[in-house]
Amino acid sequence: MPELPEVETVVRDLRPHLIGRRIASVKVSRHHLRQRWQPAWNQLLPGRQVLEIRRRGKWICTLLDDARFLVIHLGMSGQLTVVPNAAPIQKHTHVIVGLDDGGRQLRFRDIRRFGLAVLVESAAALEVMLDSGKLGPEPFDLKPAYWRKRLTATQRSLKAALLDQRLVAGVGNIYADESLFEARLPPTQRGSQTSAADADRLRRSIVRVLNRAIERRGSSIQNYVGGEGLQGEYQNEFRAYGRTGEPCPRCETPIERIRLAGRSTHYCPRCQGQ
DNA sequence: ATAGGCGCCTGCTGGC
DNA sequence: TGCCAGCAGGCGCCTA
Percent of chain A surpassing pLDDT 70: 99
pLDDT at A48: 98
Which nucleotide minimizes the distance between its C1' and the CA of A223?
Answer: C9
Q: pTM for the complete prediction?
A: 0.96
Contacts of A258 (CB under 8 A, 6+ apart): A187, A188, A264, A265, A267
Task: For chain A, list the domains and their CATH numbers.
Answer: 4-130 (3.20.190.10), 139-267 (1.10.8.50)
Distances (CA, A) of A226 to A137, A138, A200, A216, A231: 24, 21, 31, 11, 6
pLDDT attached to residue A134: 86
A3 is catalytic: yes
* Average pLDDT across chain A, whole number: 95
Nearest nucleotide relative to A77: CA against C1': C9
SS3 readout for A59-118: EEEEEECCCCEEEEECCCCEEEEEEECCCCCCCCEEEEEEECCCCEEEEEEECCCCCEEE
Question: Which helix (DSSP H) or strand (DSSP E) does residue A174 occupy?
Answer: helix A173-183
Output the pLDDT for position A132: 75
A209 within 8 A of A171, measured Cβ to Cβ = no
pLDDT classification of A1: cutoffs 50, 70, 90: low
d(CA A168, CA A141): 9
Nearest to A157 by CA among A272, A6, A4: A272
Q: Give the per-residue pLDDT at A274.
A: 64
SS3 (DSSP) at A25: strand
pLDDT score, position A221:
85
Helix (H) or strand (E) holding A28: strand A23-28
| Amino acid A53 CA to nucleotide B14 C1' distance, rounded Å | 42
Cβ-based burial of A133 (10 A; exposed 0-12, middle 13-18, buried ≥19): exposed
Cα→Cα distances A47→A9, A44, A81, A84, A271, Å: 27, 8, 20, 19, 57
- In angstroms, the CA A184 to CA A51 distance is 42
Give the nearest nucleotide to A157, CA to C1': B3
Of the listed ranges A4-13, A132-141, A196-205, the least confidently predicted one is A132-141
Q: Which residue is nearest to nucleotide C12 (CA to C1')?
A: A34
Give residues lining strand C (CB < 7 Å): A 1-3, 6, 34, 57-58, 73, 75-76, 112, 114, 134, 165, 172-174, 218-224, 262-264
Model pLDDT for residues A47-73, shown as the tens digit of each residue: 999 999 999 999 999 999 999 999 999
CA nearest neighbour of A105 among A85, A75, A124, A119: A85
pLDDT at A41: 97
**Rounded to whole angstroms, how far apart are CA atoms A196 and A193?**
10
Question: For position A6, what pLDDT does the model report?
Answer: 96
CA–CA separation, A109 and A112 (whole Å): 9
pLDDT at A266: 95
How many other CB atoms are there within 10 angstroms of residue A155's CB atom?
Answer: 10
Mean pLDDT of A125-150: 92
Q: Which of A206, A240, A236 is nearest to A221 (CA)?
A: A236
Query: Of A9, A97, A105, A1, which is closest to residue A53 (Cα–Cα)?
Result: A9
The predicted-structure confidence for A66-110, as pLDDT tens digits, reads as follows 999 999 999 999 999 999 999 999 999 999 999 998 799 999 999
| pLDDT tens sequence across A223-263 | 788 888 888 899 999 999 999 999 999 999 999 999 999 99
Any idea which nucleotide's C1' is nearest the CA of A112? B9
pLDDT given for residue A251 in this prediction: 96
Q: With bands split at pLDDT 50, 70 and 90, how would you rate the model's confidence at A202?
A: very high
pLDDT of residue A208: 98
CA angle A138, A78, A62 (to 5 degrees): 55
Residues contacting strand B at CB < 7 A?
A 31, 76, 91-92, 111-114, 153-157, 160, 222, 261-262
CB atoms within 10 A of CB A29: 18
Annotated catalytic residue, options A48, A56, A58, A243: A58
